[in-house]
A and B are shown apart, each in its own frame.
Chain A
């Protein structure tokens, strides 16, 4: 993609861009299907079960069957719901989740838009999803949905701040918001930001789990309290789009963590004959596995404790991290 970006725009190039974007969409959808499948398998193994094993060999087509099932399900819109908002909410939630991938570099050559403010773009766009969540919950005119949406909004916006603050340390060290520059900086330093910016890494991981709404921060769904929170009234393919959004975000967030903290596509242990894209996939897979692993291990935190952790622990820590990074950088310059 790199070379096409430098050329002036033509119809051919435009079609290449569009084709590549469609290909990425295909990859993401494939990822989502198999991430759900592997989540169920991994959870199964961790819980001494087999997991899905009926559809296809080794249960491999289970999620495919689930997608078709959802496609064939009746789409029920409650009588009391705000119909227009109800219909639009899954789209509002899904669009930003895919849009953020436009700036994600997978290797030095395999990337899409190479925007100067790539990181800012990601953070800005990803925070739009909360609008989809709150619209869906409110439009359902369901009390569980409303509480779930309110919780979701409070949680997602509160953890946005530590997330955004924690990466300032990286920007300070790199001097750029461009995601490719950030990876190249890690290559030239010879150390990942996961180690060079360890406090930021920890804050980022916690805040990212809260942004994704994954265990132990799965309060907006909280099936034992709110049944399933903001999407309780959704059925069929509209529900599927909320689900899809969640997993596309796992893809995006795991990619972003890889790029920011784990050196992106740069090889480990000097094994540079293995292509960068494989390294990227491995590191991203490790993060996705970590997220699923937590799901099998952790109880759910309570909303007031979540807010306390975010505002009283993570934000001061993130500010302190910026402070220290700036001073250390000045002292060594």
Chain B
């Protein structure tokens, strides 16, 4: 603007959060703004830090599992799996097939529910009220299924080292099938309501662009990585559990913007349903749900790191054992925390309205960021 150059404009330092509706929890962003344009943004985290890793050092391995539920509280099942998978790898425990199928169904239901929450809250950030309520109403059905399975709706504490805690209830698999069919209709509804809306497209296309190079340099994983065109999904590329038995697509986009992340998450929801359907078909009749596990879980001295594909990206647990029943050191790779690091770069030059859209598109859970 030619006329504006001589005039002096003062920058303002604005606190966004911790008490702000669009920071998805107690996240704080110190933004320097000029008018409504952000010139510099610094995330401040730690409001929800509970020291999960340190706590783990004084608990035995089974006792750590419920703490993982509380990290990414929208994806308790995948977090449970991340923990038990590492210990199983260290101890070389065989997990029965039936248990693996139950785990996969539970994890994919969880991924679907987590993306549903993202879909609803993201649209709420952008200013549309209704998708939030539609998504949460549908998510209730999935939480109901997981509740039947584990006895909890959010913090499941369902998986055990060597298997799962409870076998599937009577008729549960049929109910899963029915819900999967319902969810296919729901996704169609989400697309009709949102995907073609011009206002929505204007708000997300070309916003918060991440280049492939940056994505790798900032160690992004999950959807933000795939939105730049890198096809990297641990379920496909380093199959764990029984994921090599299913056929599914890994959706990618090349534009790296908020819209790409939206499209990928919507597509992943469909792919999760595909996996669940295949798992239901292959589900073994009878069989154990717990493998042969020693009475006291004492992984041999040494260390292990395993990683899996959580809804928010690559989640992993590093466990160092001295041969005791408690880990010597435990460290979680928390995808929300890793993906958040690129935020200041993405926000530079964005407007206040874009800030909300960009932050939402990364899909962070503060319980996981702060650990």
Contacts and interface: CB of A to CB of B under 8 A. Distances in A.
B36 interface: yes
Contacts of A218: 127
Contacts of B203: 299-302
Interface of B: 12, 14, 20-22, 33, 36, 123-130, 133-134, 137, 193-194, 197, 199-200, 202-203, 351-356
Interface string A284-317: 0000000000011111111111000000000000
8 contacts: A43-B130, A216-B199, A218-B127, A223-B21, A225-B353, A299-B199, A301-B202, A302-B353
B128 A298 contact: yes
Given A47-B133, A48-B134, A303 B127 contact: no
A113 interface: no
B63 to A, nearest CB: 39
B353 A303 contact: yes
Contact of A304 (B22, B133, B137, B351): B351
Given A302-B203, A304-B351, A224 B124 contact: yes
Contact of B129 (A222, A226, A295): A295
Contacts of B194: 299
B126 A300 contact: yes
Contacts of A143: 12, 14
A215 interface: yes
Contacts of A305: 202
A225 B137 CA distance: 25
B21 A227 contact: yes
Nearest to B23: A224
Q: Which of B130, B193, B356 has the most CB of A within 10 A?
A: B130
A158 to B, nearest CB: 15
A305 B202 CA distance: 8
A18 interface: no
B352 A226 contact: yes
A219 B36 CA distance: 12
A225 B352 contact: yes
A190 to B, nearest CB: 36
Interface string A130-151: 0000000000000110010001
Interface in A206-221: 215-216, 218-219
Interface in A120-170: 143-144, 147, 151
Contacts of B202: 301-302, 305
Q: Which of B21, B125, B128, B351 has the most CB of A within 10 A?
A: B128
Contact of B126 (A147, A297, A299): A299
